[in-house]
Amino acid sequence: MTELLAPAGDLDKLKIAIIYGADAVFIGGKSFSLRANASNFTKEDLIEGCNFAHKFGKKVYVTTNVIPHQKDKEGLIEYLKTLEEAKVDAIIAASPLIINTALEHTNLEVHISTQQSALNIPTVNYWYNKGATRVVLGRDISLDDIEHITKNVKSEIEVFIHGGMCAGYSGRCALSNHLTNRDANRGGCAHTCRWFFDLKQDEELTTNIPFSMGSKDLSAVKEITRLMDIGVHSLKIEGRMKSLHYIATVVNTYRQIIDEYKETKTIKDYQKYADMLAYAENRETSHGFFYGLPTKDEQLYEKRSERVMQNFVGLILDYNKETKFATVETKNVFLNEELEIFSPSKEPIKFMNEKMYNKDGQLINRAARAREQIQVYIPFEVKPFDMLRAKRT
């Protein structure tokens, strides 16, 4: 079985990822996680999230992938036992301290984080022999090397397929530490590689165009079928800081690719899936290291590609079949605008937004406040967790 693994920065995102097709999610707890600015999960959230995922036969992995300093050791055993009590399915770790502590003091399954830069067979075998069941390969690796490793080890292999790439080697970068005093390997990365810099030589600017060393994001739409054929166990989407709509769109796209290839052993229309991803992408993408060392075409250098996405305009909370009004948690909705319903269970359906009311029952032309709950007339049945999208540029 090929597992589709999705990010979840909070409980709502976990539920969205599962509903839209993930086989497993990776989340961060309140400690020992590399995304300090994500909402992350309390013990109560962990329990609820695991119960929700397990009800659907899905799995939950918790990132404990910081590189701890001496003072960061306190409370580690207690924290790992909390994860065990919450019935998480595995932890993802990079430090031998955390890995060994989990293996010695708990029954937690251990996956080796990409931060360990596992890029060869002896390294994968070393961690497998230590007791880890899975190794997440470094992102600096070609498809040929992935195939050679996967076919010659007993460990499960996990590979990144979508999301941000790091200018540092497998994420081990010190730019953020030096320039912002935010430790990238203890949860504080400022994405310094994406900043604009002036290049100087002998105090003279070498160009009038600012320089950025950031890479394009990874997108493996066309590589999924080979990764499946190779026998890669888990395909991982990056982005615990991303939005609900981003997670739903990316997860649903790759779910459809995987399912189509399982059923037909071919992909009829790659462009269809690229177009689906375009609803959520706000940065340019490339194939990363899959075909060898990236060229200038995989880098951003003298430009930033981020653009503001305005497609996602609301989340369906409830639907009344008799009145045909949906309760929507809105982001920014206009009256007399063509909208479409994005759903995990059917193709998108368009309709004209001809009638909507605020919480006081007043007819409104626009709902502009974030997370405002309104009533929208939708002439066909929708379900909770369906999403409203608008075609905007």
Do 363 and 357 form a contact (C-beta atoms < 8 A)? yes
- Residue 16's pLDDT is 97
Q: Is 3-298's fold the same as 312-390's? A: no
Say what the pTM is.
Answer: 0.92
Q: What is the pLDDT along the chain (393 residues), one digit of tens a residue?
A: 899 999 998 999 999 999 999 999 999 876 776 555 555 688 899 999 999 999 999 999 999 988 888 888 888 999 999 999 999 999 999 999 999 999 999 999 999 999 899 999 999 999 999 999 999 999 999 999 999 999 999 999 999 999 988 877 766 777 888 888 877 666 667 788 888 888 888 888 877 878 888 888 999 999 999 999 999 999 999 988 889 999 999 999 999 999 999 999 999 999 999 999 988 877 889 999 999 998 888 887 766 556 656 689 999 999 999 999 999 999 889 999 999 999 997 889 999 999 999 999 999 999 988 899 999 999 999 999 999 999 776
144's CB contacts (< 8 A; 6+ apart) are none
Label residue 336 left, alpha or beta by phi (over 0 means left) and psi (-120 to 50 means alpha).
left
Listed by start position, the domains of the chain span 3-298, 312-390
Across 195-204, b (16+ Cβ under 10 Å) vs e yields: beeeeeeeee
Do 52 and 15 form a contact (C-beta atoms < 8 A)? yes
Do 289 and 139 form a contact (C-beta atoms < 8 A)? yes
Q: What are phi and psi of 77, to 5 degrees?
A: -60, -45
Provide the CATH number for the domain formed by 312-390 in this structure.
2.40.30.10
CA 353 – CA 142 distance, rounded (Å) = 47
Do 3 and 235 form a contact (C-beta atoms < 8 A)? yes
Domain 3-298 adopts which CATH fold?
TIM Barrel (3.20.20)
Read out DSSP for 156-171?
Answer: EEEEEEEE---SSBTT
- Residue 283's pLDDT is 80
Q: Is 219 helix (H, G, I), strand (E, B) or coil?
A: strand
